[in-house]
Structure 1
Amino acid sequence: MNEYEKITRSIRKKVSKVTLEQQKEILKIYTEAIENMAKKVADEKEDSITKKLLNEFTKDLISEKITILKNISKSTTKSITKAAGYGIKTNEEILKRIFDLTGVNSNVNYEGLFSSTKKKIINDIVSGKLYKDNKTLSDRIWRANNKFEDNIQYMINKGILEGKSSLELARDLETFIKEPARRPWAWSKVYPQLVGTVIDYNAQRLARTSINHSYQNSTIQSCNMNPFVEGIQWHSALQHGRTCEVCRERHGEVFPKDNVPLDHPNGLCTMIPYILKDSEEVAGELRNWLDGEDNSVLNEWYQQYGLYFAFKEI
């Protein structure tokens, strides 16, 4: 593992932490929604589900779905913002290492250098510009929640057929929050279509994908602003049962930094800035350029981004 990969993987762990925190937040959002609905149903204390209760429950379901949409959208946007920052952080750390070895106090304004790129990455995901179907993040979350609504409606219909009381339905809703393996056998017999259903799966899948794409895209875009990066190397997770054949074939492949495919939904792959020279060699090249040696690549880079640096005038 070279020095650039070490930097990337260290930061990639932070993205994984963001993803884990987001998963917990989404589960919390669904749990609160279900508990709200269950409490309202239980408060009715009816021996069976009446038409009046059914109408009220349907209104509550729509209301909770809207609340879920707003909360998940807000939470996911916050997470993709963090992920975009970490993708940029990879190249920031690499450049800092090189500049430190050069011995030049560059006074680099990294926040200014990458700020417009970071904003565009976040906006492209939230607005849907990153994807061919142009679906916004809110559209995707709403679509993911359609399955949740269908599952709850299915439970209501089954509850009516089974002659369940409002209290029994409330308890069944609370059971639905649990992992499939923790649900009692009797519950699964009543709701066979939901035996293996994870209540928040679709929203979790969407969030993981959005976070990963934000991180990967910010890595790609910031690599294009790093003159020493010659390509982007694809590193697959290579997890048994979780890595598809396409990602296995891509493992180790170096893509041009302006033409890198994004990972598929639910992906776990990492993109490593590909620099052939070690940091000391690169620092030497930078030092020579600062001392007057001609370097067309660095000349062009400085013409484009020089206002964020304070170490050279050309």
Structure 2
Amino acid sequence: MTNDSALAIEFCGLPFATPLVLLSGCVGFGEEYTRVAGFSNRELGAVCLKGTTGAPRLGNPAHRLYETPNGMLNAIGLQNPGVDAVIKDILPQLDFSETRFIANVSGSSIEEYEEVTRKFDDSPIDAIEINISCPNVKEGGVAFGNDPAMSARVVEACRRVTKKPLITKLSPNQTDIAANACGCIEAGTDAFAVINTLMGMAIDIESRRPVIGNNQGGLSGPAIKPVALLKVHQVYQVAKAHGVPIIGQGGITSANDAIEFLIAGASAVGLGTALFYDPLICAKINTGISAYLQRQGMEHVSELTGSLQLHPPGPIRCGC
């Protein structure tokens, strides 16, 4: 268990014991990982609960998960009991004295995002993460997060109905993530989670059908880390001027990975796929970050955020 004050941060006004955040969908509604012997909430800054919609959802047909080289495809389909059940039955079971808990809001319309956020505002939840990668059924299924104008409209609608910190989870499946981030800042987001999964597919060559029952799924794990690092760096370029912090995520499996995301511009780092094969990884990452700070003569983890030293641009050449 860590007692290292050098790792304690403030994120959107909330005290985090460490920069580590358990990502939505990877620990259920906060109850799954607590059954692991040796795990401690005190190793965490926060836990993002499973994606929650207005009405209960059964999710997608099987298969929902598929292991890929250095990663994992998932298409769970937002299976959840609905916001009313989460607030009434699940939140009272969580120990808010040990760590922070962040709701993850999903929806198929702006009205659903707004309604779920309004209900969470009247609950003990510490902050609200908006998953804008969901398809907008009213606009033919295009994901909210891939259209800057729609992203901003979702954030604006959620901002109207809550005073809790809003964290916008940005999709990498878009043309200009920095431009999208700018619009979300103007609409009132307090922070970003960068990035959500990349879209991918796996095919069974015997049946010549997609392995995933939903045909495609979100790719997570170490395979997406280089993409995620670049996106964090790009979003940080616009977020830093407004004091908007970032949870960097995408393939973090070691202290070195976490440190890279902090250097790229993240204030906190999210753990997801790694938890499936090492539920006790948090303590190892905290120990590694602390050792790195000592080695570098740094007093606090916040000194790492945005400390990337870029190479000067070279001459422009065509071809290889």
Tell me whether the two structures share a fold, i.e. TM-score over 0.5: no
TM-score by length of 2: 0.24
Select the structure that is richer in helix: 1
Which structure shows the bigger proportion of residues in strand conformation? Answer: 2
- Which of the pair has the greater relative contact order for Cα pairs under 8 Å at 6+ separation? 1
Bigger Rg, structure 1 or 2: 1
TM-score (norm 1): 0.24
